[in-house]
Amino acid sequence: MSVNPMAYEAQFFGFTPQTCMLRVYIAFQDYLFEMMLVVESVILKKLDGFPDCKISPFQIRKSTEKFLLFMKEHFDKLFSKMEEVLLQLVLNIPKNVLLPEDKAHEEYPYSKEQFQALQDEIHQLQQQYRAEASAGQALRAELEEQKAVRAELEKILQWFDGLDNICREHGTGNFKESFAFLTQNSQKLQGVLKDIEEKSKRIKKHDQLL
């Protein structure tokens, strides 16, 4: 059997030429063995018609084995020549032939260095994608946390607004003066709430880009 891997032929046929030749060899060999058994059985039946014949079945078996060995040696020689012809002229793809699925390699050839550079770039992009995905997950977690803070701040602002309305309804001037400090804090909280809203918009925009 040939030791040439013939990988390009395997790509085209879907099997290696050596595998094909091995199966043909086994099929021929099995057929030869079966034929010898048939011949042996016919000879034994013929001998049953000659009671005086001194040839025993054991002798016939020995003769069959010798003849089988002789046939197998000649068959191996013939098959070796047949295999050589088939592998060179039938199951072989010439060096100047390019399979259709490999046309892209001819139109866009790459050297080993260029291919390695492309592999490195792909690896770098994969790492960048993982980093951005991780950052996006962290930003989404922060957004959820800010939503909870925003809800609490809105409750506080509503409480301040209600308290301010009560003071106005009752005309409590002294209380209003003491309430100035609370009003300033309310304005600060409104500024914080606005800042959180702006951050939330930026995070949503970043998620859309991902």
Q: According to the model, what pLDDT value does residue 78 have?
A: 92
pLDDT tens profile 42-79: 888 888 777 777 778 888 889 889 998 999 999 999 99
Between 143 and 124, name the one with better pLDDT: 124
Residue 122: pLDDT band by 50, 70, 90 thresholds?
A: very high
Domain locations in the chain?
7-107
Q: According to the model, what pLDDT value does residue 174 have?
A: 47
Indicate the average pLDDT of the chain.
Answer: 79
Report helix, strand or coil for 3: coil
Report helix, strand or coil for 24: helix
Contacts of 64 (CB under 8 A, 6+ apart): 36, 39, 40
Residue 197 reports pLDDT greater than 70: yes
Least reliable range by pLDDT among 58-67, 73-82, 139-148, 149-158: 149-158
Residue 175 reports pLDDT greater than 60: no
Residue 101 reports pLDDT greater than 80: no
Between 174 and 192, name the one with better pLDDT: 192
Residue type, 87: L
CB 163 within 8 A of CB 137: no
Least reliable range by pLDDT among 57-71, 79-93, 137-151, 195-209: 195-209
Would you put residue 92 in left (φ > 0), alpha (ψ -120 to 50) or beta?
beta
Q: According to the model, what pLDDT value does residue 153 have?
A: 80
Residue 143 reports pLDDT greater than 70: yes
Q: What are phi and psi of 83, to 5 degrees?
A: -65, -45
Between 28 and 163, name the one with better pLDDT: 28
